[in-house]
Amino acid sequence: MKILNLLSKFTLVVALAFTFHLNLKAQTTEEGKALYNANCTACHAINDKVVGPALKDVHKRREEAWLIKWIKNSQALIKSGDAQAVQLYKENNEAMMTSFENLSDIEVKSIIAYIKAESEAPAAAATAAVAPTSGGNMEAANTDWNSAINWLLFIITIILVLIIATVSKILGRIGDIQGKPIINWNKTNSILLMAFLVIGLGAATWEFWAHSKHTVFSSGPASEHGGEYDSMFMVTLILTGIVFVITQVLLFWYGFKYKADGKRKALYYPDNHKIELLWTVIPAIVLTVLVIRGLMTWNAMMYNKSEKSRNIEIYAYQFGWNARYAGVDNKLGAHNFREQGKMNALGVDTNDVNAYDDVITNELHLEVNQPVDLAFRAKDVIHSALLPHFRVQMNVVPGLPTRFGFTPTVTTAEMRTKLKKPEFDYILLCNKICGGAHYRMKMKVVVDTKEDYQKWMKSQKVLVNKTTANAAAVALK
C-alpha cells in the first residue's frame, strides 16, 4: 500500500516535470520565431524562394553544426572551401547572405527549431509552434542526449530521497521493537534548526556582502527623484532587516532551547495585553509613517507634468521598443491601430498634423536636467518599462495609456567616469515576462548634454517629410 502510494506520487512529479520540459521546447520555438522574424524574413520564407532558398526541411538537408556555422558566417564557410557551401553559393548566383555572428549558438538552434516546427506543421496551422518530438534526426541527437542526462539526474535525486525516507522509517520500526528509539528525533531536529539558522543567516550576510555592489543601487540614482526613492528603499530595508534578524534568531533558538526532553512541561500562558498592545501599535505606527511618506513621494513623482516637460512616447511590442519624439510643437500625433503596417509600424495617425514633425527612433536620447514626460503604449501584450538607473518603472498596457515624468541628472559620459566603465550605457528593459524573447527586449538609453542632444536630434528624420534638414528645423524645441 505505502509503496503504491509513493509510486503514484512519484509518477505525478515526473509527469509534471515532463509537461514543464515540453513547455520549454515550445518556448524555444517561440524565441526562434521572434529571431527568425527579426533577422531572416527579409530574404527567406519557409515555403518559397525569396532572396535566399526556401528553408523548409533545411534541417534534413544539412547537419546542425553546419547550419550554425553557415548562419553565423556563410562567407567564412564558403572561403574555407566547404563543398556544400560553395555549391549553394554558386546555385544562388553568389548572392551574399548577411552574417549573424552576434547570435549565440543557442539562439541559432532556436531558429532551427522554429524552421523545423514550421516545416512539419501543416501550412494553415503555421502559428502553433510546438515542436513535435518525433523524428530521430542527427541534429536533434545532441540536445536529446543533454536532456536525457538531466532526466537521469532528476530521477536519481528522487530515488535518493525515497531511500533516505525508507531507511529512517525502518530505523523507526526497529526502535519501536526494541522499546527505545534509535534516533533521538527531538535532539536531531533541534540541532538541525540551529544549523539552519546559522547557515541561513551566514548565507544571507554573504549574499549582501558579495553581490550588493552589483545592484543598480551602488551606482547611485541618475534622476531627480531617485535620491528620495533610494532613501525610502534603504529605510524600509533596514527596518525590516532588523525585525527579520530578531524574529528568525528567536524562532530557531526557542526551537532549540525548548525541545521536548521528557523533563520539562510546557507553561500555559494564554495572553498578555501589554505585549499584544505593544506589538500591534508599534508596527502600525511604523507602517503608517512608511506608507504616508511613500504616498507623498509617489504623488510628487507622478503629478509633476509641466509645460517644460519634453513629450516622448515609449512604444512596446514583442520584442522591442521605439521612442517617438513630439517635435517642435511638443505634441505627439494621435495614433490609430488601423494604420499599423509595414510602413507605419507604430500606427501613427497620418491625418493628424501634430504627427508630421514626430521623430521615431530605436534609442532613447534624453537631455540632462531637462524634464521628460514618457507616455507608454503597447502594441500586443502587457509589457513594463523599467529604467533602473533612473528609478522608473511603469506598466505598458495595450489600450490603457500610462505615463511617467522624470528628470535625468547624470549624463552617460559622467556615469562612465564615475563607474570607471567606459562601455557603460543606460538601459530601458521590459520587466514583464511577455513571451519567449522577453529577455532580449531592451533599448539603449543615452543621457546627453544639451549640445550633444541637439546634434543627435539633427541627425534624425521627421515622420512625414522624411528629410534630416527638415528634422533639424522642426524637431528642436
Residues that bind ligand HEC (CB under 6 A): 39-40, 42-44, 51-53, 55, 58, 61-62, 67, 70-71, 74, 88-89, 92, 95-98, 100, 111
Rule CB under 5 A: choose which of 69, 335, 383, 389 binds Cu ion: 383
Q: How far is the CB of 440 from ligand HEC (least distance, A)?
A: 14
Task: Return the one option of Cu ion, ligand HEC, none that residue 100 interacts with (CB less than 5 to 8 A, by type).
Answer: ligand HEC
434: partner contacted, choices Cu ion, ligand HEC, none (Cβ within 5-8 A by kind)? Cu ion
**Residue 175 interacting partner from Cu ion, ligand HEC, none (CB closer than 5 to 8 Å by kind):** none
Q: Is 41 helix (H, G, I), strand (E, B) or coil?
A: coil
Can you say whether the dihedral through the CA atoms of 428, 430, 431, 437 is positive or negative?
negative
β-sheet bridge partners, residue 387: 392
In whole angstroms, how close is the CB of 131 to ligand HEC at the nearest point?
16
Give 10 or 66: the residue with its C-beta nearer to ligand HEC: 66
- Residue number with CB closer to ligand HEC (96 or 243): 96
User: Is 354 in contact with 412 (CB distance < 8 Å)?
Assistant: no
Tell me, what amino acid is at 337? F
- Work out how close the CB of 322 gets to Cu ion at its nearest, in angstroms, rounded to a whole number: 13
User: Which CB atom, from 29 or from 431, has the smaller least distance to ligand HEC?
Assistant: 29
Which entry of Cu ion, ligand HEC, none binds 441, CB below 5 to 8 A by partner kind? Answer: Cu ion
Closest separation in Å from C-beta 331 to Cu ion: 27
In the complex, minimum distance from the CB of residue 288 to Cu ion, in angstroms, rounded to a whole number: 36
State which of positions 42-101 bind Cu ion (CB under 5 A): none
Distance CA 17, CA 194 (A): 33
Which of 354, 453, 436 is CA-nearest to residue 33?
436
Q: Is 30 exposed, middle or buried (0-12, 13-18, 19+ CB in 10 A)?
A: buried
Closest CA to 119 of 134, 141, 107: 134
For residues 451 to 470, the per-residue mask of contacts with Cu ion, x marking binding by CB under 5 A and - elsewhere, is --------------------
Nearby residues of 10 by Cβ (< 8 Å), 6 or more positions away: 158, 162
Query: Among 21-29, 36-44, 45-53, 383-391, which window interacts with Cu ion (CB under 5 A)?
Result: 383-391
395 near 412, Cβ under 8 Å? no
CA atoms within 13 A on the CB side of 265: 1
DSSP codes, 108-147: HHHHHHHHHHHHHS-GGGTT--PPP-----HHHHHHHHHH
CB 38 → ligand HEC: shortest distance, Å? Answer: 8
Q: Bridge-partner residues for 139, per DSSP? A: none
CB closer to ligand HEC out of 95 and 174: 95
Residue 297: all three cell numbers together: 513621494
Burial (Cβ within 10 Å: 0-12, 13-18, ≥19) of residue 157 = exposed
Q: Give the number of residues in contact with Cu ion, rule: CB under 5 A.
A: 4
441 forms part of the interface with Cu ion (CB under 5 A): yes
Q: Which is nearer to Cu ion, 28 or 309 (CB)?
A: 28
- Cβ 80 to ligand HEC shortest distance, Å: 14
Report residue 393: phi and psi, to 5°.
-150, 135
Per DSSP, 98 falls in state P
Grid-cell match 549624463, residue found? 411
Binder of residue 61, out of ligand HEC, Cu ion, none (CB less than 5 to 8 A by kind): ligand HEC
Query: Which residue stretches of 212-272 are H helix?
Result: 226-257
Long-range contacts of 181-187 (CB under 8 A, 24+ apart): 186/259, 186/260, 186/261, 187/259, 187/261
Q: Is the Cβ of residue 194 or residue 427 nearer to Cu ion in the bound state?
A: 427
Least distance (Å) from ligand HEC to the CB of residue 425? Answer: 25
Task: Choose between 92 and 460: whose C-beta lies nearer to ligand HEC.
Answer: 92
Distance between CA 123 and CA 112 in Å, rounded?
Answer: 17
Stated length of the chain: 477
Please say which residue, 62 or 225, places its beta carbon nearer to ligand HEC: 62
Pick out residues in 417-436 that bind Cu ion (CB under 5 A): 430, 434
Closest separation in Å from C-beta 363 to ligand HEC: 22
Rounded to the nearest whole angstrom, what is the least distance from the CB of residue 28 to ligand HEC in the complex? 14
Pick one of ligand HEC, Cu ion, none as the site partner of residue 51 (Cβ within 5 to 8 A by kind). ligand HEC
Nearest residue to 434 via CA among 390, 389, 368, 378: 378
Which among 128-136, 293-301, 350-358, 440-448 is the span making contact with Cu ion, rule CB under 5 A? 440-448
For ligand HEC, the closer of residues 22 and 42 by Cβ is: 42
Which residues would be at the binding site for Cu ion (CB under 5 A)? 383, 430, 434, 441
